[in-house]
Chain A
């Protein structure tokens, strides 16, 4: 093990390492144990920012963009916050600024869908002297020089990621108000009460900005999606991971689905989704409302040897929706081998199909976790 890893591996030992990025936290933090319970009332802009009373929280930006010539790109920028009351680097004696109560991780990935290139990296910090954090006062969350800053009350925001390899700068303008997923303010993930999360999304963000990558600068525009989720629960023992889809259709409708996957490979009954109509109204979809099936194509990671089903068929009979999902780039795996966190596949995807018998197209992002190994929480 290398020193640069012990931040992560020590801090996130006892399974926290995985918990951080996955849906479920281990709930080690004594003060950060508040369960996500029904009846939560979202208030904005307050709820765009952090909820330290919950163990785990993230802000997940993904998007499909293209330059003026139509060259397509994808991006992912995620800010994670994990409460860690008893981290292993923990010192009995330490100065308050550097305490390890909260750990901030960020992931950044860009996909050159035409050039078939994928780059991803990460950031890890504690709050320290403003090294990372979430501030409603300043209207931003940041990790080093990666940040998202809200420009006004409408949710318009500015996103900036600086790395040696790629620099992404973008303004995001919500075309629809934030959507609350699930029912009664919670997105239920398991049988136990509290085995749930508070989950909202900006499902249609008009994105415009520049990407500098490999010495070239691209002026980009397109659609982005933002998820903000916070919770204190853990993945249930029978569950191995999940598959998550965001779908932005040409007709101004969006869908989100996730399928909790059991270790035996079957879907869990707590899988669910949301349909957002063209006016921005959201409609809950439970596991019975939709059908998700791998469509055959798979990709095996040369690094982690995990095999991912990279093409799916999605059906929502009640909406007359039948979509075939493909990806222009198979290699969009964020391999956590270097200790950046868990391994998962998160990439730009395309949808083709019918809606009420009419042909329709769309784009979005697909996230698949738990394919390199089943996620194990709460133990080593």
Chain B
């Protein structure tokens, strides 16, 4: 053992001291790879707020949640409270408010503060009982920065109301999200949220002992209307978890790109290490070191890089997570559910996972070169120049294998999702990357032949030398190209996917958003949060001169077959006016709209159709108010506004079941030729002091695209890290190539090549390399983007994305990578230029 340690120290560690820059690059690439994985893992958990719906704050020890679309009649509470079983019930109002009309929406929870004695019982700061409030009393979470006695204005829906803070919830005992909540008594909460007579839900604790919870649910079901749902508390969290799993899967996979690229680089680094120490390895072997010792020494090198890198990565990842959580949080809110990010928590699990992944992947990548080192024959090591032979010989099988994995990828891409996860889509993507990596040596060979011919004719001796030497060092060069190509491919594919998506959304909005002005409550909205405004605003606006029509739309967050969804009601006749909502191929909009006006049909959005395997002509049953009507699906329309999925019916139909006339938003069509500015001014007068926002068509689109871009900013960040890792690898690898070929450069210098020529040779090599990597990467990227768009995205989110070629974006990105690759060659070139020809030639 001590012998091995000595070997490890002499053969591996001591030389590293002399190549600090390369060592640092390798460690840093591992660190970045691990950091990204850690950051996304941590931020993903935090952003999803542990998938905990904000509205589940203060549910305490409740076992059951009783709820219904559009709320529950409060009389049901009295009926339940008198059941002759030892249940405990408490009513809840669940809404959102923004403090002083700005900032994030804070859950606004109404509870029975007199009778609701079985809540989670968070402590209050001592409440001064002597002073009676002159404003409506609220209690606030400790993180809101409010103090007892503060007066605040809360914007709820389209109204602002003044409250006095009566106490602060004790942070020590607060549960998830409870640091960030506003609590009011139930009657007050009903009044200010416009839900008089209704409850959003009733929490229940079942009697102790005896039956299990299912039996109690059955018992209660007999006491409530069929449309009222009774679920174990936390079902919403489960639903959210299900809904968000696709999103998190995708993110996690993306986060591994940098690590995969990093693995290529570890492979490369260890290869370099092996090559550089070839002579030394031969000597120690000659002196009696076993193959196992050599193998272990090189694996230990990789292990050392990986450990240091992973440790750094953990720290870096923790920092990156703070930034990432904000980006992810806004995405989750925009697309899925109102869930406040929970604090970033570094669990032993995420710690262990990061270390395992970082070190595991590194060791795996180092296995092949370390094995090669262990195979170095003592004699062979004394002479140089034959080390690439084995690589070329083995290359014979690469192309058939590449072809085979491409075929497998094509097959995998056809397979359906497993439990809503596009597992085979990811497999297809991995197989494609593998295929490309296998094909690269062959391609490189062909390319080099071709270029060599050109280079010879053009007469640039430097280029010729560069091309030939690249071909000669095929094995390592191909790994290098594979690493860079993988990074480029990932970037290109995601760029194409996001670009296509963005274009698809833009075109969709063009069709969908045909009205001139849009109004919505100032209260903060999200995918599951539809603040309302008074319908009188719409009625008054409709009467204004210059206004042709108004489309009133109401949305509800609902649950359909155990998954969150959205329900909407719009005015079909107004949609017909101008909008060109696009339906799936083979369906006619006018026929579908006719069906909607008849009252027994709905349109469903594409994600909803995919999630629940519904198509036009199918029927679906909804729980609305006190009834459970069945609706025929009149059509499936393209919708990119929420992944939750939308069920849309005519407003009259919706009002028949849920009579609350308040609206979530409205579209205003201005008469052709009317002065839009004048109309806008009149609308502002109608709104008066109410909290209603007016958007012009252009601004609404701009805002929507801004949300879209924000959603994908995390994707771009992940891409960028992968590219940085790849380029760092290029620099390190070229450096290794130079060192490997010291003798060759020395000889060239000896034969009269100038230092500049040497530099040109190396830069030219980098140029060839970069070009090839870009070319292969782009080709692979296009294929991957097809998998992303038509397999992975479709299966995880259910969106049809029209392929769109983001030319300018791609071109600039590829050029950037290319230039960076060449720049990265300058440092190794300098090293090569500094070689002393005499010394190098004398080595042999």
A contact set with B: CB distance below 8 Å: 1-4, 6-7, 9-11, 13-14, 86, 88-95, 97-100, 103, 123-126, 128-132, 142, 144-145, 147, 160, 162-164, 167, 215, 380
Contact = CB atoms under 8 A, between A and B. Distances in A.
A7 B114 contact: yes
Contact of A144 (B81, B207, B209): B81
Given A2-B121, A95-B187, A86 B196 contact: no
B235 to A, nearest CB: 24
Given A7-B113, A124-B114, A124-B115, A88 B187 contact: no
B127 A126 contact: no
Interface of B: 74-79, 81-87, 112-119, 121-124, 126-127, 129-130, 132-137, 139, 161, 167, 169, 184-188, 190-192, 196-197, 207-209
A193 to B, nearest CB: 30
B132 A88 contact: yes
A97 B197 CA distance: 8
A133 B87 CA distance: 19
Contact of B82 (A10, A142, A380): A142
A97 B74 contact: yes
A162 B77 CA distance: 17
A2 B123 contact: yes
B79 A130 contact: yes
15 contacts: A2-B121, A13-B130, A86-B132, A88-B133, A89-B137, A92-B135, A92-B136, A93-B161, A98-B190, A124-B114, A125-B114, A131-B77, A145-B84, A162-B86, A380-B129
Given A93-B161, A167-B86, A10 B187 contact: no
B113 A91 contact: no
Contacts of A98: 112, 185-188, 190
Nearest to B120: A3
Contacts of B169: 3
Contacts of B207: 164
Give me the 7 closest cross-chain CB pairs, A-B, nearest first: A98-B187, A130-B78, A91-B188, A94-B187, A7-B114, A13-B129, A129-B78
Contact of B113 (A6, A130, A142): A6
B184 to A, nearest CB: 8
Given A93-B188, A94-B188, A129-B74, A3 B137 contact: no
Contact of A94 (B85, B117, B123, B191): B191
A92 B208 CA distance: 38
B119 A3 contact: yes
Contacts of A130: 75, 78-79, 81-82
Given A10-B113, A93-B188, A131-B81, 9 more contacts: A6-B113, A7-B115, A7-B117, A13-B129, A91-B187, A95-B196, A99-B187, A124-B117, A145-B84
Nearest to A2: B121
A95 B197 contact: yes
Nearest to A340: B117
A93 B192 contact: yes
A145 B135 CA distance: 34
A145 B185 contact: no
Contacts, number: 142
Contacts of A144: 81-82, 115
From B82, B87, B191, residue with most partner A Cβ within 10 Å: B82
B330 to A, nearest CB: 32
B85 A145 contact: yes
A3 B136 contact: no
B82 A147 contact: yes
Contacts of B190: 94-95, 98
Contacts of A11: 114
Nearest to A160: B84
Contacts of B161: 93
Contacts of A123: 115
A100 B191 CA distance: 15
A131 B78 CA distance: 5
Contact of A128 (B77, B86, B208): B77
A141 to B, nearest CB: 12
A2 B185 contact: no
B129 A10 contact: yes
A94 B185 contact: yes
A158 to B, nearest CB: 12
A3 B74 contact: no
Nearest to B136: A91
A351 B283 CA distance: 109
A95 B190 CA distance: 7
B438 to A, nearest CB: 64
From A10, A13, A90, A98, residue with most partner B Cβ within 10 Å: A98
A186 B116 CA distance: 37
